[in-house]
Structure formats: C-alpha cells, structure tokens
Structure 1
Amino acid sequence: MEPVLYDIKDAARYLGVAPSTLRYWEREGLVRAGRNRGNDYRQYALHDLIDASEIAFYRRLGVPVRELAGYRTLSARDLDDALDRTARDVEQRIAEGQSAADAEAEFLTDDHFEAWYQDICSQLKQYEG
C-alpha cells in the first residue's frame, strides 16, 4: 500500500500556515518534503507533517525560526531554553508597550496635549487664510 502524500496546499492547511511558510521552513532546514518525480512539486508524507507540526507548535508559542535551527538534534533542555528566551522577550516587549502606553496616556491627559492641539489649530488657521 502506497503512503498518502499531501501537496503543499493541503499540508499548509492541515498545519494552519501559509504554503510560503512551509517553503521558508524548508529553505531553513526545519522541514523536509519529498518531490513528485513527474512535476517536481513538493509532497509531504505523514511523518513530514508530524515534524512540521512540531515546528508550527513552537512558532505559535513565538519561538523564532533561528532558535529552531537544527531542531531535530535539540534536546528537551535546548527547547526549554528557547522557550524561556522567548518568554523573556515577550515579557520585555509587553513592558515596553506598557511604558509607551503610559507615556501616551500621560501626554493625552497633560497640558502637553492642550498645547499641541492649540498649535495644530493655529497652523490650520494659517492655511485657511
């Protein structure tokens, strides 16, 4: 019995990613695809989809592609470390976003906003006249 093979469109749909994402992961060495001898199109066997689903899982958690390089040889500890680095990066981006939001809120509630608004209004009046 011949194994079931999936084209890139079906494989991408099953994984919840774009076909271009699968091609990118292949270029980066994260996934493998066989080739159809007749037309050289990519073909994914079930084991290819299982491997790709692991990559999709870690990508959904925010782990960068560069962290997953050589994932087949990464230990559980290496993957945990990559997740820890990703979590720290996300926390830092959240903190930076909160700082920016706080600064914006301060600006909007401060006298700065009133002065800015008055300045814009006076500039607009120059163009009207």
Structure 2
Amino acid sequence: MPLKSLKATDSGRFFYINRLYKNQINQENKKMDVSAVLMQLKPLHMQQVHDWQCSLKARQDEVIETLKAEQVHIESWFYLQLHGQDYLIAYMRADNIQKAQNIAKLSTFPIDQVHKQFKTSWQAIYPAELLLDATAT
C-alpha cells in the first residue's frame, strides 16, 4: 500500500495509516535467519555426493516445495577439498532456521528421505559463526 495513494482526513487518521505503512515496510524488510555449516564427508563417499546432487537437480520441483514448507528462501551447497579431505558447505537463509530444521526433521516429502539418507555420508558437522550479514535492498 503506497503511502502517496492514501488520503487522510485528519492528523489522527494520517498517523494511523502512516504507522500501518511503516509496519508493512518493516515486515517486508524483516531480517531473516542465516546459517552456514561445514560437513566433513566420510572417506570414499563422493559417489553418494554425486548421486544426491543428481537426485536433487532432477527433482527440483520437490526441492522447492520442501523449501516453501520450511519457509527457507535460499539454500546453497558447496563442495571443497582441503588437505585431501572432502567437505561440503551448506548455506541457508530462512524466516526461522530452528523452525525450518524442525519442519525438515518431521517431513514426509519423499525428496527429504533422499536427503536424510545422504546425511549418513557425513563424518562431522562444524557450525559456522555469522560475523557479517549485509544485504543491499
């Protein structure tokens, strides 16, 4: 609701409408939770990574459906090798990370079962600490 399209008949009504408009802007610009983790893979599990990646790419519509159910706006995965060891980095931006994780744990979506099975290839998980979150709007 653009403010310039509103007409106020008195100062009290204008203040109320202006407050509603500011609340809407604040909700639209609401900060989201951000999370990143580093997963060390078990040795010789790169085939599982490849299979998981192919599955998720082929079933992209299901992936998007689960992200919506979890209120996740962005989920990105990266691979890196460090000193001969394989790792994955997962990045997520959601309305509420804890809520998203709880929803995922209880999910009955078939694609989430693929992801749960994939987690068995992880040897260790290292949560990252957020140092800076800058967004240009």
Judge same fold: TM > 0.5, yes or no.
Answer: no
**Which of these two proteins has the greater Rg computed from alpha carbons?**
1
* Structure with the larger helix share: 1
TM-score (norm 1): 0.27
TM-score (norm 2): 0.26
* Structure with the larger strand share: 2
Structure showing greater relative contact order (alpha-carbon pairs closer than 8 Å, 6 or more residues apart) = 2
